[in-house]
Amino acid sequence: MTSDPTITPRNRLWTPWRMTYVGGAAREPGCVFCNRLEGDDDVGSLIVHRSRHAFVILNLYPYNTGHLMVVPNAHVQDPSQLDRETQGDMATLIGNLTGLLRRVLNCDGFNIGMNIGHAAGAGIAEHLHQHIVPRWVGDANFMPILGSTKVLPELLPATYGKIRAEIERDLLSATELRVLALVGDKPAIALGTSGLPIVGLERDVPIWQSVVSTLSEDLHGIDILGWAGDAGTRQDEGFVPVLAVRATGVRDDAARISALDDPRSWALSEDERTIVLRGLARFGW
Ligand SMILES: [Zn+2]
């Protein structure tokens, strides 16, 4: 599925971001999955989660919004080569992910499966991977069957941010996150007196929806931009995830706005400590 020859980057209407976000998807030496696993840029690699024996990665060439792959850490071709622990890890992840995807993407169903070997249509046959493709009633209209052009309603960085936020809550016990807001031509905007605004994570409410409703008090035209890293203080280990949004404007009565000079080197005063942002994702600045 990852190397469908009928789908070329030229035909993809949503690819312009790839140049800055992923940094090129040219053919690379070695195994694509092992390379991602060994790297340390999970945002650039589209890895949304690492568990003990497997990891979860967004498909760079998705068949639908939210197309994930569950990949064993072990470089094997066939499920019979997986040890029991890895099989259990992958099965648990799939159970977690379908529930999470239903919540965040409001999808109606899934196609879940593996293509084992080139004969079965595997794009990357040397390292097995299980696809999870969210489905909506009527979405076949958007599938790449006709014309080899398809329109995805959401950019990959936004999907990545939404899904990773849910994983931070469901699998890593996050109870809150902060938001980095970009407004118009200003490089960055902070809301609130305590630096980046904090959003509490409500059970059963998609995190991106909580973010939009919290920030709507001060901003309008809010879209989820993507994952922005983790924010916290150097003094303690209390880092919380940060989601980036873009807004079309600031409300006239907004009272909690302050501009930030350089989003690449965060240092916000909070209770005489310094909030730092690590693992800052790239959004073209
Ligand atoms: Zn591999």
Mean pLDDT, 10 residues at a time, over the chain (285 residues)?
Answer: 38 35 58 94 91 96 90 97 97 96 93 91 90 86 47 78 94 88 68 70 91 89 87 66 86 72 51 56 52
CATH 3.30.428.10: which residues of the chain? Answer: 9-154
Helix, strand, coil percent content, the chain, rounded in steps of 5: 25, 30, 45
CATH 3.90.79: which residues of the chain? Answer: 174-278
Give the strand pairing for 240-247 and 176-183. parallel
CA of 129 to the centre of ligand 1 (A): 10
CA of 71 to the centre of ligand 1 (A): 9
CA of 68 to the centre of ligand 1 (A): 17
User: Considering 49, 53, 127, 129, which one is annotated as catalytic?
Assistant: 129
User: For the domain 9-154, what is the CATH code?
Assistant: 3.30.428.10
CA of 123 to the centre of ligand 1 (A): 13
- Counted residue by residue, the chain has a size of 285
CA of 53 to the centre of ligand 1 (A): 13
Crossing angle of the two packed helices 207-215 and 156-170, in degrees rounded to 10: 110
Rounded Cα–Cα distance for residues 269 and 266 (Å): 10
Q: Does domain 174-278 have CATH number 3.40.50?
A: no
> What's the pLDDT score for residue 187?
56
For residues 135 and 109, the answer to whether their CB atoms sit within 8 Å is: yes
CA of 29 to the centre of ligand 1 (A): 11
> Nearest CA to 98 among 29, 33, 170, 27?
170
CA of 23 to the centre of ligand 1 (A): 20
Using alpha carbons, list the distances in angstroms from residue 78 to 31, 50, 57, 121, 129: 15, 21, 19, 14, 10
Give the strand pairing for 268-270 and 219-220. unpaired
Q: Dihedral (C-alpha) 239, 95, 37, 171: value to the nearest 10 degrees?
A: 10
> Nearest CA to 245 among 215, 201, 266, 280?
215
Q: Dihedral (C-alpha) 272, 278, 282, 285: value to the nearest 10 degrees?
A: 30
Using alpha carbons, list the distances in angstroms from residue 7 to 1, 62, 146: 10, 10, 11
Contacts of 276 (CB under 8 A, 6+ apart): 231, 232, 233, 234, 266, 267
> What's the pLDDT score for residue 22?
38
For residues 144 and 206, the answer to whether their CB atoms sit within 8 Å is: no
CA of 1 to the centre of ligand 1 (A): 16
Tokens standing for residue 17: 């971001």
pTM: 0.81
Does the annotation count 127 as an active-site position?
A: no
Instruction: List the alpha helices (DSSP H) in 127-267.
Output: 156-170, 207-215
